[in-house]
Structure 1
Amino acid sequence: MKHLNKFFTAALLFAGLSSQAQDSNNPWAISFGANAVDTRVSASRDGLNFLQKTFSQPFDVKDNWNFIPSVSYLNVSKYVGDGFSFGVTGSINRIDKFVVFDPTAANADSRGMSVVNPGNLSYYGVDAVIKYSFMEMIGTKWFDPSLNIGGGYTFFGDASAGTVNGGLGFTFWATENIGLQLQSTYKHSFDDNRVANLDVPTHFQHFAGLTFKFGAKDTDGDGVYDKEDACIDVPGLAEFKGCPDTDKDGIEDSADACPEVAGLAEFNGCPDADGDGIIDSEDACPEVKGTKIMKGCPDADGDGVADNDDKCPTVAGARDNAGCPWPDTDGDGVADKDDKCPTVAGSVANNGCPEVSDDAIKKLNDYAKTILFNSGKSTFQKQTMPVLQAITAILKEYPASKFSIEGHTDSDGSDATNLKLSKDRAAAVKNYLVENGIDASRLTSEGFGESMPIDTNKTAKGKANNRRVEVKLVK
Structure 2
Amino acid sequence: MKHLNKLFAGVLLLAGLATNAQDSTNPWAVSFGVNAVDTKVSASDPLKQQFSEFFNVKDNWNIVPSVSYFSVSKYSGDGFTFGLTGSFNKITRWVNKVPNTGNSYEVVNPGNLNYYAIDGTISYSFMNMLKSKVIEPSAHIGGGYTFLGDASAGTLNGGLGLTFWFAKNVGLSFSSTYKHSFDDTRVANADIPTHVFHQAGIKFKFGAKDTDNDGVIDKEDSCPTVAGLEAFKGCPDTDLDGIQDSEDTCPTEAGTPEMNGCPDRDGDGVADGSDACPDDAGIKVLGGCPDTDGDGVADKNDKCPSVKGDKANGGCPWPDTDGDKVLDKDDKCPTVAGTVANNGCPEVSEDTMKKLNDYAKTILFDSGKASFQKQTISVLQAMVAILKEYPSAKFALEGHTDSDGKDAMNLQLSKDRAAAVKSFLIENGIAADRLSSEGFGEAKPVASNKTKAGKAQNRRVEVKLVK
TM range (shorter): 0.7 to 0.9
Question: Aligned-pair distance for 1:42?
Answer: 1.9
Q: Which amino acid aligns with 2:38?
A: V
What CA deviation, in whole Å up to 9, does each residue of 1:384-403 have, x standing for no partner?
A: 99998876664332123232
Q: Note closer, same or farther for the CA distance 1:137–1:390 as it changes in structure 2 (3 Å cut).
A: same
2:82 aligned with 1:85, yes or no?
Answer: yes
What CA deviation, in whole Å up to 9, does each residue of 1:39-63 have, x standing for no partner?
A: 1x42864xxx422x14544333334
1:39-438 to structure 2, matched below 5 A, reads 39=40, 41-42=41-42, 45=45, 49-51=46-48, 53-63=49-59, 65-71=60-66, 73-82=68-77, 83=79, 84-96=81-93, 98=95, 100=97, 114-120=104-110, 122=113, 124=115, 125-135=117-127, 138-155=130-147, 160-195=152-187, 201-213=193-205, 221-225=213-217, 235-240=227-232, 242-253=234-245, 256=248, 258-263=250-255, 269-271=261-263, 279-287=271-279, 288-291=281-284, 294-297=286-289, 305-313=297-305, 314-319=307-312, 322-332=314-324, 336=328, 341-346=333-338, 352-357=344-349, 360-361=352-353, 364-365=356-357, 367=358, 371=362, 394-409=386-401, 411=403, 415=407
Q: Note closer, same or farther for the CA distance 1:190–1:464 as it changes in structure 2 (3 Å cut).
A: same
Give the corresponding residue for 1:108: none
Question: Aligned-pair distance for 1:362?
Answer: 5.1
- Shifted more, 458-467 versus 439-448: the winner is 458-467
Tell me the SS of whatever aligns to 1:191: coil
Q: Which amino acid aligns with 2:308?
A: V
What CA deviation, in whole Å up to 9, does each residue of 1:405-441 have, x standing for no partner?
A: 3343555676578658766875787688779x66373
2:26 aligned with 1:33, yes or no?
Answer: no
Q: Percent identity?
A: 54
Question: Aligned-pair distance for 1:31?
Answer: 0.8
Segments of 5+ residues of structure 2 without an aligned counterpart are: none
Tell me the SS of whatever aligns to 1:400: coil
Tell me the SS of whatever aligns to 2:63: coil
CA contact (8 A) 1:78 1:87 kept: yes
Question: Aligned-pair distance for 1:29?
Answer: 0.7
Question: Aligned-pair distance for 1:100?
Answer: 4.3
Give the corresponding residue for 1:12: 9
Q: Which amino acid aligns with 1:62?
A: K
CA distance in 2 between counterparts of 1:70 and 1:375 reads: 146
TM-score between the two structures when normalised by the length of structure 2: 0.74
Segments of 5+ residues of structure 1 without an aligned counterpart are: 106-111
Q: Note closer, same or farther for the CA distance 1:29–1:345 as it changes in structure 2 (3 Å cut).
A: same
- Shifted more, 248-257 versus 446-455: the winner is 248-257
CA contact (8 A) 2:143 2:154 kept: yes
Q: Which amino acid aligns with 2:240?
A: K
CA contact (8 A) 1:42 1:202 kept: yes
CA contact (8 A) 2:27 2:76 kept: no
CA distance in 2 between counterparts of 1:119 and 1:389 reads: 149
Q: Which amino acid aligns with 1:42?
A: S
What CA deviation, in whole Å up to 9, does each residue of 1:133-156 have, x standing for no partner?
A: 344664544433222211223445
Question: Aligned-pair distance for 1:232?
Answer: 6.9
Q: Note closer, same or farther for the CA distance 1:14–1:424 as it changes in structure 2 (3 Å cut).
A: closer
Tell me the SS of whatever aligns to 1:12: helix
CA contact (8 A) 1:371 1:380 kept: no
What CA deviation, in whole Å up to 9, does each residue of 1:18-42 have, x standing for no partner?
A: 2115635462413121314151x42
Q: Note closer, same or farther for the CA distance 1:79–1:240 as it changes in structure 2 (3 Å cut).
A: farther
**Please, what is the CA RMSD of the aligned residues?**
4.8
CA distance in 2 between counterparts of 1:72 and 1:421 reads: 137
Aligned residues: 453
Q: Which amino acid aligns with 2:63?
A: I
Question: Aligned-pair distance for 1:218?
Answer: 5.7
Q: Note closer, same or farther for the CA distance 1:133–1:432 as it changes in structure 2 (3 Å cut).
A: closer
